[in-house]
Each structure stands twice: as structure tokens, then as C-alpha cells.
Structure 1
């Protein structure tokens, strides 16, 4: 990698850390995308979503939509939260290469990863998802579509929930052209079927929602935080990626996502363990100290809920 490329990536990382805020207006008003795609390393691009909840202003683009130009076609990671977001991303891809999109990979079964599936399927592009993510999407797609229609309004037009056309369990070889691409399910983490896209030759991971920075990780009912920590320590860390594109927030490095994901989970579980040892109950668990993380976007929306979910999990461990 040249010095110019390294300086470019450094600028992305520092700018992202400094500017992450829920109050920043749409950064790419001429497109339904929240951000114009940036080239993270050569031939790997990402359109970085807002680090806020989905709103009309960001059109539901609050996760990262990435693509890899391989020399023999394009691999897209995440179909997007709507038909229009998928269409907008495709337009950006066409401005950068004549190579056709040959595969779309969903990072999980949530709406922001899969509600745009029907755009890509209409183009004849296969969509790959983990079997557990596909099941979650099938169960929740109706509710996700209704939420999209409520907040995105006209930007939800054209969206018709469709399941992935391909599924995998442990791993999938998506190598194409000159690029080795390993699609991995490293283990239980943030949500069912969490998927990571690993480029071993570039030491880059498109991590999905196993990894967060800039915004607080959401912990869902049913999330096993001890499992998430174990998956991180035994499966993600040994890969030791140099570059990480998290599910939300700007491209960064392993140390940064470890600090705001793994270390946050360990910290919160420690606080809840102390709370349980002191005889605390669910009502008061919401107010355990999470002050080291108040600067993260979505802290106000998620901190107390996260504490309650972890209390309910640890109460029966």
C-alpha cells in the first residue's frame, strides 16, 4: 500500500471519529444514500451510514453498504434498508466500474441488511445470507417493512421483502477475480446469523454488527453477551485484521472496535454482576454506571435498555 493510500485511510478514520454525531445533516443530499462511497483500501468501497437511528432524513441508511471490485465482477455487502437505497448504491458502483454486480451478501437478518434484496434479485443478482439470518428476516420482514414505510415514507416505495436466494452455515467461498473473499459466521454475537466478510490477502474485514465503534452497540433480548465475547476472543481476534469496516461507523482498526464492542460488553457485564451481588433488581439495573461510553452516538437510546437486557440475561446464568 502506498503512502498516499495510507494517508487517505488515516484521514477517513480521524474524520469519522471527530465528526460522528446524530445531529449532522445528510452528507450526500443529491442521493438517497447518507454518504458518498469512499475507497477504504484499493477496490474496497463503503458508503458509511448515519450513526443515528433510522429516520426520514437518513432514509434508513444508518449502516454501512460496501462493495468489492474484484476484476471479474463486484461483490456487494448489504442490500440496504430499501429498494431505493439498493438502487442508489448500484448507481454509485456503475460510476466506478463497468464490472457487473455478481453477488450480494447480507451481514444479518435485519431490515437494513436485507430489505433491499428485491432490487438486486430483480437485476438477476444472487443474494447470500446465513441460514439463521434468513430465518430471522422471514419472521420479521413484515414488521421491518412497516417501520420503513413509517419513517422513510416515499423512500420506501418499491421495497418488497424477499428472502436471500442462497444460504450458508459456517462459511462460503465468494472469491472472485483477483480477490479471495471468505464469508464467515464466526459464532453467536449481536444477532442471529451475524456474518463477516474476510479478505485475507488485504487483511480487511467487513465485520457487520459483531463490531461497533462511534455508536453504542445495541443488545437485543435473546442476545447472549457472554457468547458474543467468546466469539470475539476465540474467532475474531485470531484473524487479527488490519482494517475493519464495522456494521456502523467509519472504517477503523481492530483495537478501536475491540475498545467499543468487546470491552464495552465486558464492562457492562461487570457492572451488572456487581449490581446482582448487591441485591439489585431489574428496575435499578437500568441506572448502572455507563459513563465511560456517554460520548457514543445512540447512548441515550440504548444504554438503559442494554443494561436491562444484560440484567435479565445474567440473572439466570
Structure 2
């Protein structure tokens, strides 16, 4: 087992990093398009922690975690990044850490900050892997996603083009590289189509992607089914037994913390909507169900009412 570094020791011993996750904190790495410099979470596993705010020109769209695993035979990157510029900046950081080449990029889902940087990696000759559903999502909506990124990123979008993954998988892809076993898993429906978790069983760390949140509110999309997300969590994600969790957004932490702010939030919100429905409530009223226990989370103002409305629409016909 790799020795626990100070960063993750703090994350695991304390409850979270609430003071570090504010949307008001300025860019933490102004000399780079990256929002923050990569940190070694445990030996050989690094992550550049993104802003917990929505994507902006100021954070260059780096509002998710860009992680990578360094082995004796090469590097595996998790997430292509929100643009070619951001991917290139991450690659520069990797080159400063190791002489090993990047051999594989894993897209954790079909969203822009997972896939738009694929164009840079393709130009470097790096293979790109994603779940089949994520690839299909990007194929269908990629033009809109790119257009949205160009609107906020302006000149920082230069050089970014749509590039789909080279290959896809359905349930599990196992990679043995430099003595490290890397399991790329699709555990079931969760946050968005084709959600991927990267599990390193020998080191008990999971790069969880958007199945797990703890510093910002989980967004619930129009095609998210929260009942299935909860089931995937309980039957497949938490049973991995991960000691360390790198969530899709926010600092590395532990399973108890992401359970509290993802699984338990979904259960809580469904309970509030169920009570509202049982009282004869309508969609307009659903937006105002109580979510104050989670009001301290970043993006609460942007997402809370939207989440409530979407869960109402889901549960109305259950």
C-alpha cells in the first residue's frame, strides 16, 4: 500500500475541505491554464483539482479533476480536459513529473470537460478510451458542447476540435501497465450516460468521476434517474471498498464523505419530493422543498431548485 501523503491524510482524517472549495477563490495557478497544479494524492496517482464553480474564461473550463497514474511503463490520464489548451497544460505538468509517455486517456463521461481535450491527445498519438454510452452522447451533442465551450473560453478554445474516443467498452476494461492493475469500470446508471470509475484495487483508490461529489452539489440532469444512481452506489460503487476517493469535482477524500454528500443527498431530496407529492404538491411547489442541510455546498444556488424539479418529474410517475 502506498504511504498516505499529507494532502490525503488531511482529507481522510478531517471531514472535508469546505474552506478551500469556495467559488470566490481566484485561480490557484495563474501561470498555467490549469486551475491548480497537480498534487500527488497517493504515490504515483496525481490529480489537478478543478474549480468547484461552473466553467468560465477565468478557470479555462478546468472545473473538474484531471488525474493521471504514473507507472514504470507509461502514464494513464483520466479526462481529456475541456480544451486542447487545457490538455496541453496538463501534459506539460506530466512531463515535469516523469519521462514516461502518456499511453492512454480515459474519458470519464461524455461531457465537454472530459472529452473536448481529446483533440490534443489524438495529435500526440495517444489512444483514447470511453464507455460506449459516453461516446454516443458526445457524438450526438458534441457540436453543441464545443459551441458552448467556445462561448465562455473565447481565445482559449483555439485548436480544439471534436475527436471521439478510439475505442469503447461496455462493463469493464482491465489494463495491466508497469505492474499496476487499472480497472476501468461502468458500474451502472448514475450521474450521466457512460459514467466511468477507474479503480486501482492494489492501492484501494478509486478515481470516481461524477458518481461521487462532496464539495459541490451534485447536478441532476434531465436524463438522470436518481433511483438508479442510488442503486448503483449501494450495490456496486461503495462495495469496491475504496479507502481513497478522487471525486469528479473537489478534493480527494474518503468514501464516507462522498456518501454523505452524494448518496445521502439523493436519498434526502427524494424523501422531500416524496413528502411533497404525498401532500398533493405540484412542480411549481417542488422547487421550494427544503434543501438547507446542503446549502453550504458550492453551486447550491445554481442547482438546488433545478435538481428538485427534475426529481419531481422523475418521481411523479414512479
Give the TM-score, by structure 1 length: 0.98
State the partner residue of 1:73: 74
Does the 8 Å contact 1:190/1:210 carry over to 2?
yes
- Count of equivalent residues: 316
State the SS of the aligned residue for 2:251.
coil
Match of 2:39 in 1: 38
For the residues of structure 1 that align with 2:92 and 2:77, how far apart are their CA atoms? 13
**Within-5 A mapping of 1:217-296:** 217-296=218-297
Residues 112 and 2 of structure 1: CA distance in aligned 2, closer, same or farther (over 3 Å): closer
- Once the 2 structures are TM-superposed, how far is the Cα of residue 12 of structure 1 from its aligned partner? 5.5
Partner of 1:90: 91
Could you tell me how far apart the structure 2 residues matched to 1:9 and 1:114 are?
27
Separation in structure 1 between the aligned mates of residue 288 and residue 203 of structure 2, nearest angstrom = 42
Instruction: Tell me the SS of whatever aligns to 1:241.
Output: coil
Q: Residues 96-107 of structure 1: matches in 2 within 5 Å?
A: 96-107=97-108
Q: Is the 8 A contact 2:217 2:298 kept in 1?
A: yes
1:9: Cα distance to partner?
1.9
Change beyond 3 A, Cα 1:63–1:2: closer
Contact between 2:112 and 2:146, CA under 8 Å: does it hold in 1? yes
In 2: Cα distance, 1:98 partner to 1:314 partner: 52
1:240-261 CA distance string (max 9 Å, x none):
1000000000000000000000
Shift of 1:37: 0.1
What is the Cα deviation at residue 16 of structure 1?
A: 3.3
SS, match of residue 175 in structure 1 = strand
Q: Give 1:6 shift.
A: 4.1
Q: Give the structure 2 partner of residue 157 of structure 1.
A: 158
- Residue aligning to 1:131: 132
SS in 2 for 1:194: coil
2:298 aligned with 1:310, yes or no? no
Distance 2:8 2:234 in 1: 26
- The DSSP-based 3-state class of the residue aligned with 2:232 is helix
Are the counterparts in 1 of residues 230 and 263 from structure 2 also a CA contact under 8 Å?
Answer: yes
Distance 2:257 2:184 in 1: 22
Q: TM-score, normalised by structure 2?
A: 0.97
* Residues 118-142 of structure 1, C-alpha deviations (whole Å, 9 max, x = no match): 1001111010000000000111111
> Could you say which residue in structure 2 is the equivalent of 1:9?
8
Kept after mapping to 2: 8 A contact 1:17/1:250: no
Are the equivalent residues in 2 in contact too, given 1:212–1:248 (CA < 8 A)? yes
Q: Deviations over 1:46-103 (max 9, x none)?
A: 0000000001110100000000001100000000000000000000000000000000
For residue 210 of structure 1, give the secondary structure of its aligned residue in structure 2: coil
* Partners of 2:199 and 2:206 within 8 A in 1: yes
Deviation at 1:302, TM superposition (A): 0.1
Find the aligned partners of 1:260 and 1:39 in 2 and give their Cα distance. Answer: 24
Q: Deviation of residue 31 (structure 1)?
A: 0.2
RMSD of aligned alpha carbons? 1.2
2:2–2:203 Cα contact (<8 Å) kept: no
Kindly indicate whether residue 203 of structure 2 is the aligned counterpart of residue 202 of structure 1. Answer: yes
1:22 Cα deviation from its structure 2 partner: 0.5
